[in-house]
Amino acid sequence: MRFGPFIFSMSHDPENDGAVIDSALKEAELAEEIGMDAVWLTEHHFDGETAYVDPLVFGAAVAAKTRRIKIGFAVVQMAFHHPVRLAAQTALLDNLSHGRLIVGIGRGTALNHFEYAGFGMTMQDGIDRMDEAEDLLVKAWTTSDLRYAGKHWKVSFPLLRPRPYQRPHPPLVRACLSEESVVAMARIGRPIMLVPVANDVISSRLRKYEEALFEAGFGEDRMAQILDRVWVSKSVFVDHTDDAAREIASQGLRRDLDHIQDARRRYNPNGLGTADTSQAIRMVTTLNRPL
């Protein structure tokens, strides 16, 4: 089993963005110092939900400040990136880090419609482009003299430079929430990253994933390789007592969820994506179950 912090550095005030970014970089350095296996970086725009905004640029800073720890994306929002440009940037970062990169991808935020609007698209655009974007990303990493003619992208180039440090390319992981997406990724042998859900849901999703791998015809050795690259995201807060941990964690979580919900109310068109966040608060204040 491997562990690594999810550096989700929220800034509630634009004047504090720089200080939060500095603190996030120190957190990544500390993770390496205490022996963590990976640091996980994410992508959000326009509301301070992620102060460093861009995991690619911030990942380069982490690569310069560390020597051993893996640098993972949880996730790059594929809707906001041209796949060839992303292939070039990740190949460079894989070289800068000497093969420490894990490329986690997803179609984009499921509720922040204003992020899509900021890039001149809709959430449906992100959904429609996701599979083709991943296909082109992998082909850009691995194919010479590429001629690609898809529905959304038509490109041609002789060779991506630099080539990825890891061959044939950095580990590629797809973020999944639903059982359907977990099964779909198993059918193509794609390692997955499970977003934070209840412990029984995690167990159920992993069982379904392993069953689907077997049904897809992957051999025992290949299944073991794929399962070894699966990651699970889980929120954890530690203090001297359970009650103290719940009190401090619930205060911070409530503040962050209020910030996210306020941004959706203010910026999302037509009241979209404003689901109640009280369930997330109840989970952290009432549950204390081992994984």
List pLDDT tens digits, range 59-88.
999 999 999 999 999 999 999 999 999 999
Alpha carbon separation from 30 to 24, 27, 91, 191 (Å, rounded) = 10, 5, 25, 27
With contact defined as beta carbons under 8 Å apart, do 263 and 47 qualify?
yes
Give the tens place of pLDDT for each residue, 235-251.
888 899 999 999 999 99
Distance between CA atoms of residues 192 and 174, nearest Å: 5
Enumerate the β-bridge partners of residue 147. 156
- β-strand pairing of 70-73 with 101-106: parallel
Region 86-111: what's the mean pLDDT?
96
Query: 161: which 2 tokens?
Result: 């430079």
- Tell whether the model's pLDDT for residue 272 goes beyond 90: no
The topology under which CATH files domain 6-238 is TIM Barrel (3.20.20)
The pLDDT score that the predictor gives to residue 108 is 83
Confidence tier at 290 by pLDDT (50, 70, 90):
very low
146-149 and 154-157 as β-strands: parallel, antiparallel, unpaired?
antiparallel
Rounded to two decimals, what is the model's pTM? 0.92
Whether 137 and 107 have beta carbons less than 8 Å apart is answered as no
CA-wise closest residue to 114 among 21, 41, 47: 47
Q: Where are the domains of the chain?
A: 6-238, 239-291
Q: Tell me which DSSP letter residue 189 carries.
A: T
SS3 assignment for 123-145: HHHHHHHHHHHHHHHHHHHHCCC
Q: Where does 216-276 have alpha helices with state H?
A: 220-227, 242-267
Query: Quick count: other Cβ atoms within 10 Å of Cβ 66?
Result: 19
